[in-house]
């Protein structure tokens, strides 16, 4: 059985939604990020960087990083493109999310990762938020005239939903992003998404 290590409202919500939607029995283990559980010796054995998500596979081995976890789950649950060009495009979106969108947001929540100079925090947070907002606009453009981020619903969509929720949390004018907002509404109509949003107390 798969075990997901997650934290409410974190990027682990993408894998949480995919697992909830899969119909397969899985275990969800909450990691107390605010309490520092991610830095305990026990958790660092699961995720050496002290982050969520982490997925414990059927053989007991841990798998880390959304860029690996989401394609793995997508292939397992038929939520991943089969043809090579479509798969490459899906990897391109996951790469953009994990290496640009998420780190931009990390500048807002974790400025200490980027400088030890606390007086520089406001500038770092401000620049991170502006960059993050620019990426959200880009995602809005990617969703023009289409229902989902790939040709059909896939693991990319729960990942895209995470950043919408973060935009709301940062009080960005998300309603102005018409395509992205319509996508968020489509996501919420999926029973598994609604269940996870309730479990993780997501406000969108
Ligand atoms: N590159 C990682 C990033 C994971 C990550 O940064 N997770 C955040 C939550 S969204 C975390 O666990 N933060 C805990 C901390 O910074 O202490 C991935 O995509 O899986």
For the chain, domains (ranges, CATH) are 2-76 (3.40.30.10), 84-190 (1.20.1050.10)
Of 192, 190, 166, 194, nearest in space to 180 by CA: 166
| Closest C-alpha residue for ligand 1 atom 2 | 65
Look up the pTM and report it. 0.97
pLDDT band at 80 (very low <50, low <70, confident <90, very high): very high
The enclosing H or E element of 107 equals helix 102-109
* CB 11 less than 6 A from any atom of ligand 1: yes
Share of the chain above pLDDT 90, in %: 100
Provide mean pLDDT across the span 92-103: 98
* CB 16 less than 6 A from any atom of ligand 1: no
pLDDT score recorded for residue 21: 96
| Closest C-alpha residue for ligand 1 atom 12 | 51
pLDDT score recorded for residue 109: 95
Provide mean pLDDT across the span 84-99: 97
pLDDT score recorded for residue 45: 97
């Amino acid at each position: 059985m798969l075990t997901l290590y997650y934290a409410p409202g974190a990027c682990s919500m993408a894998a949480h939604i995919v697992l909830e939607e899969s119909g397969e029995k899985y275990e969800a283990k909450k990691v107390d990020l605010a309490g520092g559980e991610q830095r305990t010796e026990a958790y660092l054995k699961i995720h050496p960087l002290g982050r969520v998500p982490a997925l414990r596979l059927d053989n007991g081995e841990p798998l880390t990083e959304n860029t690996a976890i989401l394609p793995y789950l997508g292939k397992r649950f038929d939520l991943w493109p089969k043809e090579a060009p479509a798969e490459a495009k899906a990897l391109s979106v996951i790469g953009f999310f994990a290496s640009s969108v998420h780190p931009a947001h990390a500048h807002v929540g974790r400025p200490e990762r980027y400088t030890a100079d606390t007086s520089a925090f406001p500038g770092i947070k401000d620049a991170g938020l502006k960059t993050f907002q620019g990426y959200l606009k880009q995602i809005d453009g990617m969703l023009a005239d289409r229902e989902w981020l790939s040709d059909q619903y896939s693991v990319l969509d729960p990942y895209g939903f995470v950043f919408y929720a973060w935009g709301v949390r940062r009080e960005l004018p998300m309603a102005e992003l018409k395509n992205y907002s319509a996508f968020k509404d489509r996501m919420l109509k999926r029973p598994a998404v609604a269940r996870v949003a309730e479990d993780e107390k997501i406000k969108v």
